[in-house]
Every structure is written in structure tokens, then in C-alpha cells.
Amino acid sequence: MAHTKTSYVCLPCRASYKQPYDRNRQRICPRCAEPLIHAGSAFAPPPRRDTAAWRTLSVLLHAGVRFHKSCCGGAGYRPRTVREVRERMTYARRTGEPFAKALVRPDVP
């Protein structure tokens, strides 16, 4: 049985690599030798020049949000702009909700 590949991301290089998933193995970026972050199998990287999208992605990954496939399709809602991230982070601070949970909310009340 073939193992499915999943995405690993290097934030300083703004690069994404598809590799077989192995929880016991630490992945290293071939460009800068920094550790790669496991992003998930449903991850689609933004263009390398889009600094705002990479900043948004950095906040999501550091908060523990990943891009895994669900039974009904993709990974679900993820904010795409810095403004959407700020709205959800403000909401999380105001209500006490964990950042990871607030960041994947489609609508902020």
C-alpha cells in the first residue's frame, strides 16, 4: 500500500514540500536547514511573493491550525488575509476562546 504524501512548510524560505508522513522523523528544509512544519495533506501554498498570505499562514501554523482533509472535502475554513486573522484574534482575546479555535471560525459574531 502506497503512503500518501503530506505538505511540510518552511516559513523563512516560503517553501512547501510534499513528503511521506512519518511522525517519528524530523523534516529539515533543504534550503536553510531549519525544521519544517507539518501543514497537512489539504494544504495549498500561497505564491512565494505574497508576503501577506505567508504572514497569515505563519500565524495559523504557530497557533496549531493544520490543513487536514475531512470526510466531506477540504480542510474547512481558514482565514486568507491579515485582516481576517486580526478579527479572529481580537474575538479570541475578548471572549477567552483559544486562538486555534477562533482562527477556524467562518464568522466572527
Q: What is the pLDDT of residues 47-104, one digit of tens each?
A: 999 999 999 999 999 999 998 876 665 667 888 899 999 999 999 999 999 999 999 8
pLDDT of 1 higher than 60? no
Instruction: Residue 27: give the domain boundaries.
Output: 5-103
In the numeric block, the cell 501577506 is attached to 52
Q: Pairing mode, if any, of strands 37-40 and 15-20?
A: unpaired
Q: How far is residue 95's CA from residue 40's CA, in Å, rounded to a whole number?
A: 28
Task: Establish if 69 belongs to a structural domain.
Answer: yes
Task: Establish if 46 belongs to a structural domain.
Answer: yes
Task: Establish if 98 belongs to a structural domain.
Answer: yes
Task: Establish if 15 belongs to a structural domain.
Answer: yes
Please give the pLDDT value at position 6: 92
Task: Establish if 19 belongs to a structural domain.
Answer: yes
Task: Establish if 108 belongs to a structural domain.
Answer: no
Q: 57-73, pLDDT tens digit by residue? A: 999 999 999 988 766 65
Spatial strand order in the sheet of 5-10: 15-20, 5-10, 37-40
Average pLDDT over residues 7-35: 94
The pTM assigned to this predicted structure is: 0.84
pLDDT of 108 higher than 90? no
Core vs surface per residue 26-49: b (16+ CB within 10 A) or e = ebebeeeeeebbbbbbbbebbeee
Task: Establish if 38 belongs to a structural domain.
Answer: yes
Task: Establish if 96 belongs to a structural domain.
Answer: yes
Q: How far is residue 69's CA from residue 73's CA, in Å, rounded to a whole number?
A: 6
Average pLDDT over residues 11-25: 93
Q: How many domains does the chain have?
A: 1
